[in-house]
Amino acid sequence: MLYRRIFQFLIVYIFGILFLLIIKFIFSLSDYVIPNILLIIETAAQVFKEYFFDVINTLSVTILGQCISICMAFFVGISGRKSSWIGSFIKVTAYNIQAYPIVALAPIIFILIGDGFISRLLIASMICYFPLLLSVLGIMATPVKDIEHFYIITGQMKWHLEVKIRIFENLSKLTTVISGSATLAMAGTIVAEFIAANAGIGYSIRIALYQSNLAKILIALFLIGIIISVYQGILEVIGEQIKSKWSISKKGTIL
Amino acid sequence: MNKNKSNNNVLNIRIFLFLLTLLLLISGAATVYAEKIELNYRLKWLFNTSVAGDIYADAKGFFDDAGLNVNVKQGSPEKNAINEIELGRAQFGVASADQVIRALDKKAKIVVIAQLLQINPMQWIYRADKPKIKVLNDLKGRNIGITFGGNDETIMNTVFAKAGISKNDVNITGVRFDFTPFLMKKVDIWPVYRNTQGVILKEKLAKQNEHVFFFNPADFGINFVANSVITSMEMVKNKPDIVKKFLTSLLKGWEAAMDPANEKVTLDIIKKLDKADNDKIRKKQLTATRKLIKPFASVKIGTININAWKQTQNIMLKEKQIKNKVNIENHLIQVNY
């Protein structure tokens, strides 16, 4: 699965580069507008190491941001799963916060807490948390009637049991959503770095943009793509393992 | 019956003549319109006082008078005039010297036809309660703001090299558009465009009874050229008359906009497009812009300072921003207008 993801990314990336080179050829553009292949390779040799560590830096914030957003989404999803007043209040608040564009909120965040690690983390979490929340809310608010019925009529149903049943029954869906949200968390971190941070690949891309250096941007995109593919692949593998452990080791009696 | 027929004929002839006249008028107007040459002119920055002459030429119809239909487009950090010229989306544009030299290093086929700013507006603001920077070594021990990747980084690195200041002698802070670190005194010396942000910050601090100085590297012999008008090599070669017409109209606009006698008209034109600043700020920005565009009465607007361009090229070479000399003098064309 991991190799397939990387391979698929490479195909997309190569096609992207080829497309740019065709445009360059058709319109006779200079290397300033679209760099030639040699310039891309030369630039890669110069900045690969630096950018690799920048992407790792960004990824570390991404992972942490994603963990926070998963916790937030589960907290809100579990708290807001009931159709009670408090449940609907939590849902409305969660939806409204997301209605504000993050690029408008970002400057306020940076003024309040500066352009360091915390700002990047907060923005990354905010960007990737909403899709997670929607899925978690959807899952948590939908009863698994066949199973839950038994516990309800025997009087054994507790809130954490209800949550466990719903998570287990929707594990594949949750794994896919969490894996998919990694891309959003990465995008969120890069946006934060792009707007106002002093580290990470988003910050490096901004510097490259100042200098209109498309070759550097292409290298950055390559590294972001590869590393996010690996990360997503790992998440999927972990999800698969959790699922098989839950169903095999407990022989379906985990609940 | 016959009388009726004759009346109808007269009416038909009249209608025919009316339609014919209308057709001639429409085709005449279309011909006049078609004769106008459509051009796109991409500025480097948003519509504000720093582009006063560009919007003055447009608003006062100087381009129209020359038979040109020029679409003056505002710029932004993401919009690059050089890219647009190469892609054929613009015929003329404004670019900073570092952009031009970087593009030439990558074989872009562009030329500079006028240098708008005779003094680089990129300067550093600092509070007057700190010792004045009289010699470059006075920068030692200060917290200096730099936009990493921006041309202010290149300029400041050149300042350091000239003064023999190492990075350990100063504190460097990466900056963005947000002035908060300077206002909160976290950074001592902050990079600004002297004629726009510089005016705003000076005003803001004056309200708090704080006074400021500006550190201008040019005062210490570091001349780094700023905004200039560019076009493609092909345009200069194949359509020199259009280049001349465009530049003549544009510089006429700049001459008029920088003339203190036209100050009110100029400010009114700017006000229509720049909603961000107030009248007082815009007036001060115009005064500051005048000093950068036409520092002396004898300076003809648009004059290309070849030595400053060569120095800019050398700075960039030294800072490893370009691989080889681009022979910049071969890409500077002083069009007589």
Show the domains of chain B with their CATH numbers. 38-117+225-331 (3.40.190.10), 122-220 (3.40.190.10)
CB under 8 Å to A82, separation ≥6 — which residues? none
Q: Is B24 exposed, middle or buried (0-12, 13-18, 19+ CB in 10 A)?
A: exposed
* B186 to chain A: closest CA residue: A114
| Rounded Cα distance, B2 and A234, in Å | 98
To 10 degrees, what angle do helices A85-99 and A117-140 make? 140
* CB < 8 Å to A29, chain B: 86-87
B106 chain-A contacts, CB cut-off 8 A: 30-32, 35, 39
Mean pLDDT of all residues in A148-163:
82
Task: Dump pLDDT digits (tens) for B136-194.
Answer: 999 999 999 998 888 888 889 889 988 889 888 999 988 877 788 898 888 999 999 99
Residue A242 near chain B (CB below 8 Å):
no
Yes or no, beta carbons of A212 and B178 under 8 Å apart: no
Task: Return the pLDDT at A196.
Answer: 66
Identify the CA nearest to B191 among candidates B143, B158, B228, B225: B143
Q: What is the mean pLDDT of chain B?
A: 87
Tell me whether residues A30 and B106 touch, CB distance under 8 A.
yes
How much is the average pLDDT of A24-44? 92
**Using one digit for the tens of pLDDT, what is the confidence trace for B270-279?**
999 887 778 8
pLDDT (tens digit, 9 = 90+) per residue, B68-78? 999 999 988 77
Yes or no, beta carbons of A32 and B86 under 8 Å apart: yes
Measured between beta carbons, the chain A residues lying within 8 angstroms of B321 are 211
Give the pLDDT mean for B306-320.
89
From A30, A32, A206, residue closest to B149, measured CB to CB: A206
B322: helix, strand or coil: coil
Instruction: Please state, rounded to an integer, the average pLDDT across all residues of chain A.
Output: 83
For each of the domains in chain A, give its residue range(s) and CATH number, in order of start: 2-23+36-248 (1.10.3720.10)
- B40 neighbors B89 (Cβ within 8 angstroms): yes
The answer to whether A80 touches A90, Cβ cutoff 8 Å, is yes
Q: DSSP code of B139?
A: G
On the question of pLDDT at B16 being above 70, the answer is no
Please give the ipTM for the structure prediction.
0.75
B277: Cβ contacts below 8 Å, ≥ 6 apart: B48, B49, B200, B285
Q: What angle do CA B118, B44, B175 make, to 5 degrees?
A: 90
Please judge whether A111 and B108 are an interchain contact, meaning their C-beta atoms are less than 8 angstroms apart.
Answer: no
- What's residue A251's pLDDT? 54
**Residue with more model confidence, B213 or A251:** B213
CA–CA min distance B68, chain A (Å): 26
Residue B41's pLDDT band (cuts 50, 70, 90): very high
Q: How high is the pLDDT of residue A255?
A: 45
Beta-strand relationship, B143-146 and B171-174: parallel
Return the H-helix or E-strand segment holding A88: helix A85-99
CA distance B145 to A10: 40
> Which one, of A208, A224, A219, lies nearest residue A45 by Cα?
A219
Chain B residues with beta carbon closer than 8 angstroms to that of A210: 77, 147, 149-150
**Distance (Å) from the C-alpha of residue B181 to the closest C-alpha of chain A?**
9
Q: Judge: A33–B108 Cβ closer than 8 Å, yes or no.
A: yes
